[in-house]
Amino acid sequence: MSNQTIFVSDIHLCESRPSITDTFINFLNKINNQVDALYILGDLFEYWIGDDSKQHENVIEALKELTDRHIQVFLMHGNRDFLMGSGFEKKTGAVLLNDPTLIGIYGKKVLLGHGDILCTDDIEYQSFRDKIRSESWKNEFLKKSLSERVAIANEFRKESELNKKNKSLEIMDVNKEEVNRTLIQFNYPDFFIHGHTHRPNCHSITLDGHQMQRIVLGDWYEQGSYLIFNAHGIETHQV
């Protein structure tokens, strides 16, 4: 059996949905030594209030067991868990990646992202994103007590759900021009894999004479899915 790499996104682990956590830990435990690496492309958690919290210790332990077996785990920040930092890396053995990141696997160029920076039509969200990703906002937030941080995170989640109801699906999806600009910037990769929009699909793109595929990963709110990439190609699986 040939070696393979697994990609997932938008797991949205939350204490209020223990069954998803159990499913994800079970998924991690079943990853065997034929797997070279696991890439988690953002929103592993519904929210992350800082590396000093005691959130999701069972998930951290399962990730550590995986990296202890010399299976690499790479993580990307999502819009919900962008406060994961070096403390999280130390506890899990996982490596945080910049968004976007270009990698080479099995002879292919693969661009990875969470996906939210592609949604440029949602001007309100992009402006909010810029604010909370600033070093000054993050430093102020992390100075607050854990209970204050949880309250703020829950407030953000409520606002996010309300905002979604008032926005069209088109505004919350990726902007095609932004996708093309990104593909050109990274010199026409063979694949562009991302999550965020919760609209799993495979889009064929022809740009400047180059054939590429943009693969959108599914979320784990209702049913978990993951992508297996090996030397023979790509397969999508349900958990």
- Domain segments of the chain: what residues? 4-238
Distance CA 206, CA 90 (A): 41
Which structure tokens are listed for 158?
Answer: 């409520």
Looking at the predicted structure, is the pLDDT value of residue 1 above 80?
Answer: no
Residue 135: per-residue pLDDT: 95
CA angle 72, 77, 81 (to 5 degrees): 115
Instruction: Pick the closest to residue 35 from 61, 67, 13, 60 (CA basis).
Output: 67
Q: What is the pTM of this model?
A: 0.95
Report the half-sphere exposure of 177 (CA within 13 A, side-chain side).
2
Burial of residue 63 (CB within 10 Å: 0-12, 13-18, 19+) is buried
Distance CA 48, CA 127 (A): 20
Residues 54-92 have pLDDT tens digits of 999 999 999 999 999 999 999 999 999 999 999 999 999
- Superfamily designation of domain 4-238: Metallo-dependent phosphatases (3.60.21.10)
Confidence of residue 2 (pLDDT cuts 50, 70, 90): low
Q: Is 48 helix (H, G, I), strand (E, B) or coil?
A: coil
DSSP 13: B
Preceding omega of 18 cis (within 30 degrees of 0): no
Residues 154-166 have pLDDT tens digits of 999 888 888 888 7
Residues 127-137 have pLDDT tens digits of 999 999 999 99
b/e code 169-197 from CB counts within 10 Å (16+ = b):
eebbbbbeeebeebbeebebbbbbbbbbb
Looking at the predicted structure, is the pLDDT value of residue 169 above 80?
Answer: no
